[in-house]
């Protein structure tokens, strides 16, 4: 087993189940000390009685690794701050932050309540921003003290954030926002020794089990293309020191496939050098669209 994260301290949010659990276990197997964060809520964000973070931390320790559980709400400044503090106070440092926490409240736009919009944007987008903010403040202080870190952040976007997904306006908007946050953080934090990237994973979890059924495992090879564990190797590499020089990028990961996603770039353009009339603008826009690449289809469309 590769130990490319030997001695690193890694925080994973939403690590009680699914992708987050797979990431936490993979980092521990790669030698990291892991802070397993999970609020323990249901699929829609409502409170649940169990503590999945504690179970995953116990699982890591039973396998000979080092881990602690953290049950704070990372979409609050107090919870996010205590998460970073837990890593530093327990292990003396923080090297990698993996933002993964989230849940779904799917509705078509005309049926989407304001509360469902706010709740999903809060946990996904604010739940990325606040841990990143507190971790960045720690790493900035370290850099200013002459201890420039080899720090890594891996954010979790989605194909829904890159292409859109019917019935998921709140989720798609939040996941698109995470890509924008990733690009800004990568540019702002580079001076402090921090690299920031994002993944857009496709895997079978509580949020996607209806879309990705267990029956998708290939019977001839035994390879389950939708297992969340398939995504974790890329996340572990991005969270390690060996990913030096890779920042501000978005990767799609599914089964045995890894894709570098290429975002908005300037395509066909015309500059008149003067103001257009509406008719001229429309005629020109149609001409440019005829020369441009056709965007990918919205999921479910």
Instruction: Compare 215 and 235 and report the one with higher pLDDT.
Output: 235
Q: Which of 175, 192, 232, 240 is catalytic?
A: 175
Kindly give the pairing relationship between strand 250-254 and strand 257-261. Answer: antiparallel
If one compares 99 and 224, the residue with the highest pLDDT of the two is: 99
Percent of the chain exceeding pLDDT 70 equals 91
Task: Indicate if 172 belongs to the active site.
Answer: no
Rounded distance between C-alpha atoms, residue 203 and residue 211, angstroms: 9
Q: Is pLDDT above 90 for 254? A: yes
Q: What is the pTM of this model?
A: 0.91
pLDDT tens digit sequence for 149-185: 999 999 999 999 999 999 999 999 999 999 999 999 9
299 is catalytic: no
Do 152 and 195 touch, CB atoms closer than 8 A? Answer: yes
Residue 49's pLDDT is 55
Distance, in Å, from the CA atom of 211 to the CA atom of 164, rounded to the nearest integer, reads 16
Catalytic residue among 171, 192, 232, 243: 171
In CATH terms, the superfamily for domain 9-261 is NAD(P)-binding Rossmann-like Domain (3.40.50.720)
Task: Write down the catalytic residue from 91, 126, 157, 158.
Answer: 158
Predicted local confidence at residue 209, as pLDDT: 47
Q: What are phi and psi of 69, to 5 degrees?
A: -100, 145
H or E segment to which residue 1 belongs: none
Mean pLDDT, the chain, integer: 92
Distance CA 120, CA 166 (A): 15
Which band of pLDDT confidence, cut at 50, 70 and 90, is reported for residue 215? very low
Q: Where are the domains of the chain?
A: 9-261
pLDDT digits (tens, 9 = 90+) for 67-112: 999 999 999 999 999 999 999 999 999 999 999 999 989 899 999 9
pLDDT band at 213 (very low <50, low <70, confident <90, very high): very low
């Amino acid at each position: 087993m590769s130990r490319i994260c030997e001695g690193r301290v890694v925080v994973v949010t939403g690590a009680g189940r699914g992708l987050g659990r797979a990431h936490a276990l993979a980092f521990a197997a790669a030698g990291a000390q892991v802070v397993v964060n999970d609020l323990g809520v249901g699929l829609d964000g409502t409170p649940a009685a169990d503590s999945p973070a504690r179970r995953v931390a116990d699982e890591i320790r039973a396998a000979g690794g080092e881990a602690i559980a953290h049950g704070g709400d990372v979409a609050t400044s107090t919870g996010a701050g205590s998460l970073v503090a837990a890593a530093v106070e327990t292990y003396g440092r923080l090297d990698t932050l993996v933002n993964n926490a989230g849940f779904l409240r799917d509705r078509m736009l005309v049926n989407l309540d304001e509360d469902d919009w706010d709740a999903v944007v809060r946990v996904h987008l604010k739940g990325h921003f606040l841990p990143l903010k507190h971790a960045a403040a720690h790493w900035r202080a370290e850099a200013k003290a002459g201890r420039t870190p080899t720090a890594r952040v891996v954010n979790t976007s989605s194909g829904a954030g890159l292409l859109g997904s019917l019935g998921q306006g709140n989720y798609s908007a939040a996941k698109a926002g995470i890509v924008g946050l990733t690009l800004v953080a990568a540019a702002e934090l580079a001076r402090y020794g921090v690299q920031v990237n994002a993944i857009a994973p496709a895997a079978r979890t509580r949020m996607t089990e209806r879309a990705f059924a267990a029956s998708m495992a290939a019977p001839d090879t035994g390879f389950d293309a939708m297992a969340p564990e398939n995504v974790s190797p890329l996340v572990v590499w991005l969270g390690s020191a060996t990913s030096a020089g890779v920042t501000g990028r978005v990767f799609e990961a599914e089964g045995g496939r890894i894709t570098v996603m290429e975002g908005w770039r300037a395509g066909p353009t015309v500059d008149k050098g003067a103001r257009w009339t509406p008719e001229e603008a429309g005629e020109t826009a149609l001409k440019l669209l005829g020369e441009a690449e056709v965007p990918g289809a919205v999921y479910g469309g």
